Amino acid sequence: MSTRYRGTQDEVRALSALITVMRASEALVASLQRELAGKGLTASQFGILDVLLHIGPICQGELAGKLLRSGGSVTSVVSGLEKRGLVARRRDGSDKRYVTVSLTEKGRKAIGGLFPEHARTVARQFAALTAPEQDELRRLCRKLGRSVSAA
Amino acid sequence: MSTRYRGTQDEVRALSALITVMRASEALVASLQRELAGKGLTASQFGILDVLLHIGPICQGELAGKLLRSGGSVTSVVSGLEKRGLVARRRDGSDKRYVTVSLTEKGRKAIGGLFPEHARTVARQFAALTAPEQDELRRLCRKLGRSVSAA
DNA sequence: TCGACATACTTTGATATCGAAATGATAGCA
DNA sequence: TGCTATCATTTCGATATCAAAGTATGTCGA
């Protein structure tokens, strides 16, 4: 991850860009995790509650797809949320292989109360960039992410 | 993490930027991890070997600082690398609290052989962006990362 | 010198994550 | 109807990660 590598110009530029993208992303995550820790939630738990709040009941496989996580990981985090009474699991469709996860009232209150503050925090984090800069960052990351995922 | 949130414009823009930055970063990491898994190394192990290769022997605390990881995490990963004979630990300075980690010959060969391919992979990942775009991405992420870390 | 504080590392307990194997359910087809 | 392949989820083993507690070492002031 260091730039002290005698590669081609393209390699040095790419390695250098990689480091800053990763550092920015890790700084964002670390900052959000610290904030969530105070509320008794991990980032993974928040991610699942967030999807359930904004998209509604959804099966675990789709949850894994949206969060870019393995199915096993989702099973484990959902189990934790279920134990705490924040989400409910049901196998009620015609296809009994699917498990539908939904927010309980307790879960809805928890994430509903937290999200506005989360949004303010994120806006504060990105306030270092102007609006056009944020849009440009999004454009570049989308292009990069799509290409990497497709490869 | 969804954009279906009725917040202010600033909040929506920031949340939207956050998602794409995280997705791009996670796609990059996932892709690199898959490549490394074939070589029998995890991303964390590679990160430590990389620092040792390009910076030289260094104590664990500094390693943790450079990798943005907790001290406990570094202890654990270094222990694994030590067991595999890729790095060596020494308490040889005047201050016996510091543990200096360095590459063994075996470790140097391992990371030295892998790094050029890693550099090519990263260059390929970023080839979706032009050189100026990569530089701009770096500028934006540096600005963002610095601000978030400082907060 | 001695005690109090500081620093570097290690250990511990909890959660997250992956990939692979195991389980349970469904669908296609003869 | 059965057999088989596929699919969604769960379980398992390994590693990573953090925070907090614990250990060893070092520093500084009285």
- CA A64, C1' D8: Å apart? 12
Residue nearest to nucleotide C8 (CA to C1'): B97
Reported confidence tier of residue A86, pLDDT bands at 50, 70, 90? very high
The pLDDT, as a whole number, for residue B127 is 95
Note whether A14 and B122 are within 8 A (CB). Answer: yes
Note whether A1 and B51 are within 8 A (CB). Answer: yes
Q: Does B25 touch chain A (CB under 8 A)?
A: yes
Residue A76 approaches strand C within 7 Å at CB: yes
The pLDDT, as a whole number, for residue B151 is 77
Nucleotide lying nearest to A48, CA to C1' measure:
C16
Range of the domain at A61: 42-150
A128 found inside a domain? yes
B128 found inside a domain? yes
Reported confidence tier of residue B92, pLDDT bands at 50, 70, 90? confident
Residue A96 approaches strand C within 7 Å at CB: yes
A15 found inside a domain? no
Tell me whether residue A111 is exposed, middle or buried, using C-beta atoms within 10 angstroms of its C-beta: 0 to 12, 13 to 18, 19 or more.
Answer: buried
Reported confidence tier of residue A6, pLDDT bands at 50, 70, 90? low
Looking at the predicted structure, is the pLDDT value of residue A95 above 70?
yes
| Cα of A6 to nearest chain B Cα, Å | 9
| Structure tokens given for A99 | 């498990």
Share of chain B above pLDDT 70, in %: 96
A4 found inside a domain? no
- Nearest in space to A127 (alpha carbons), one of B45, B55, B15: B15
The pLDDT, as a whole number, for residue A76 is 97
B32 found inside a domain? no
Q: Is A104 left (phi over 0), alpha (psi -120 to 50) or beta?
A: beta
A92 found inside a domain? yes
What would the DSSP string read from start to end of A125-143? Answer: HHTTS-HHHHHHHHHHHHH
Alpha-carbon distance of B102 to B2, in angstroms, equals 44
- Nearest in space to A135 (alpha carbons), one of B136, B58, B132, B84: B136
- Here the contacts of A85-91 (C-beta below 8 Å, separation 24 or greater) are A86/A45, A86/A49, A86/A110, A86/A111, A87/A48, A87/A49, A87/A52
| Cα of A35 to nearest chain B Cα, Å | 12
A129 found inside a domain? yes
Reported confidence tier of residue B16, pLDDT bands at 50, 70, 90? very high
CATH code (residue A142): 1.10.10.10
Average pLDDT over residues A36-42: 92
Share of chain B above pLDDT 90, in %: 89
B60 found inside a domain? yes
**Which residues of A fall within a CB distance of 8 Å from B140?**
129, 133, 136-137, 140
Average pLDDT over residues A101-126: 94
Looking at the predicted structure, is the pLDDT value of residue A110 above 90?
yes
Helix %, strand %, coil % for chain A, to 5? 70, 5, 25
Nearest CA in chain A to B25: A22
User: How many domains are there within chain B?
Assistant: 1
Q: Looking at the partner chain, which of B122, B127, B140 has a beta carbon nearest the beta carbon of A129? A: B140
Note whether B44 and B77 are within 8 A (CB). Answer: yes
Q: Does A33 touch chain B (CB under 8 A)?
A: no
β-pairing, B58-59 with B87-90? Answer: unpaired
The pLDDT, as a whole number, for residue B108 is 96
